[in-house]
Structures are given as C-alpha cells and as structure tokens.
Amino acid sequence: MNLEKICQEVILVAQEAGQFIATEAKKFSTASVEYKAVNNVVSYVDKETEKLIVSRLEQILPEAGFITEEGTAETKDMAGLNWIIDPLDGTANFIHNLPNYSVSLALAQGKEVLVGVVYNVCTQETFSAIKGGGAFKNGEKISVSANKHLGESLLATGFPYYKFENQDRYLKILESLMQKTHGLRRMGSAAIDLAYVACGYFDGFYEYNLNSWDMAAGILLITEAGGIATDFSGTDEHLFRGDVVAGSAVHAELLTEIQQYWN
C-alpha cells in the first residue's frame, strides 16, 4: 500500500465530511437529537456524515473493513485491515452549538494504526500522520511539547457521561492532577485533544470509556509526533480497551499518578 497517497485521499474525505457538517450546523435543530443511551446523543448529521465517509473510503481501499461509531457499515475481521471512523467527534458540542468538534478517520491493521487524520471542523485545521512518516498540521510537521515535568504541564481529559462505576477513582485522579499541574481542560472532543497533544498545545491527555474511533487517528498523531500512548496499565492495548494515557515526556509521571488510584 502507498500510505502517503492513501493519507492524502483520506484528508480530502475528512475535509469534505467537515464541510457537510459545517453546512448542516447552520440549520441544525435540537429537535433532531436522538439518544443511543442515557446522555449518549446522536443526530442525523452523525449518520449522514458517516455514510458519506464510508462511500468515499470504499473507493480508496475496497478490501478494508469498517469499524464505525454509528454502525452504517459492516465491521469485518478485527485483526485485519479496517477503517476506523468517527464521523462527528464532539456531538454534544455540535448540538449545543459549541464550536469544537471534529472528523476522525484512521486505517488500521489489527491494533496497528497506519494512517490517521483528524479534521477540526470549526477551525479548519487538518492533522495527519502515517506510520513511520511523521505527523503534520495543515501540511507542516509537528511535534509534542518539550516539557518534561508534570508540574509544568497543561493536560486535557474527558468527563464520564455514562458508565459511572469508575467515577470515584476518576475524581481522585482529577483532584490530584488539579494540584500538580498548570491545569486541566475538558474540550469535548477526544480526537481534537489528542491532535493538540501531538502539536504541543497540551502536554498530555487521559480518559476512559473511549472507543477505538475516538482515539485511533489521534494516537497515531501523537506517536508520530514523538509522544507516547498506552492504556492505564501501561500496555499497548489502549486502542480497543477503552482507556488511554498519551503525551510527551510527561507521560511516565502522568501514568504513575493515574495508577495510584486506578489499580
């Protein structure tokens, strides 16, 4: 496979999807909101964007399967070649007209991500990476921050909005990090958070209750930008396990803080 060529084609798909989302945002009504589960919202924009993306990606690599948030395409062999798609990461932001949401597209062979693209719909920033080829923002190479100290870091995270059984442990981690960093931000789109770690805006990111489509592209961005990504146990099972710790050189300290309360 020519990953560089595939990546350029995926960028165009992400941007086209982003343009569709931006157009729909101007006329979107909260009456269109549906619930997949308690506090887990979706809209026709998510579904139609995913259909558009699937139709385009099928043309790029017909042999690949799909792992999609809204289930509009068949999931094939999880150990094989798959597109991992989040058509609208930050749906709650979108429906409340908060301008921070994205399109996240990745190509993976099993748990190894080969291509990743995150498109910030509201800022029109395009983040891209290929395995072994570096990470880029709008075509310019990016790298994680040079900060090596958790005490000087700015972190991003996400708050749980369902599956609250780990909430107490999460709050203890949050309390600890509030006292040991320059601060934490909850932006509402994990894909954007990860992309912003890759280009050094944030020093690190952690969250649980994530799915592969939330983080596949963002994880590749970070590792290709010189960062580190693991699960909360420090292993490389994060893509399908649901919890992730990612960052620059502060990763080790951040992971230690999390493990004090998580294990």
User: What is the rounded distance in angstroms from the CA atom of residue 202 to the CA atom of residue 129?
Assistant: 18
> How many domains does the chain divide into?
2
* Residue 246 contacts residue 190 (beta carbons within 8 Å): no
Q: What DSSP line would sit under 83-133, residue for residue?
A: EEEEEEETHHHHHTT-S--EEEEEEEETTEEEEEEEEETTTTEEEEEETTS
pLDDT tens-digit series, residues 207-258: 998 999 999 999 999 999 999 999 999 999 889 888 999 999 999 999 999 9
> Residue 59 maps to which CATH number?
3.30.540.10
pLDDT in tens, 186-197: 999 999 999 999
- Tell me if residue 67 falls in helix, strand or coil: strand
**Alpha-carbon distances of 199 from 148, 152, 196, rounded to whole Å:** 15, 17, 5
Task: Give the range of the structural domain holding residue 131, as residue numbers without chain letter.
Answer: 3-141
Q: Answer with the one of 141, 173, 189 that is the final residue of a domain.
A: 141
Q: Are residues 92 and 13 in the same domain?
A: yes
Name the strands in the sheet holding 244-247, side by side, starting at the edge strand that comes first in the sequence.
Answer: 183-185, 154-157, 204-207, 244-247, 228-230
Check whether residue 68 and residue 17 sit in a common domain.
yes
168 and 240 part of one domain: yes
Predicted pLDDT of residue 39: 44
Q: How far apart are CA 225 and CA 144, in angstroms?
A: 6
Q: Is the pLDDT of residue 167 over 50?
A: yes
CA angle 199, 204, 208 (to 5 degrees): 125
Query: Last residue of some domain: 94, 113, 141?
Result: 141
pLDDT in tens, 66-123: 998 777 776 766 678 999 999 999 998 998 999 999 999 999 999 999 999 999 999 9
Task: List the structure tokens of 194.
Answer: 């990860």
Q: CB neighbours (10 Å) of residue 140?
A: 7
Residues 57 and 179 in one domain: no
Q: Are 123 and 137 in contact (CB under 8 A)?
A: no
Separation of alpha carbons 117 and 191, rounded Å: 9
In this prediction the pTM is: 0.93
pLDDT-derived band at 1, boundaries 50, 70, 90: confident
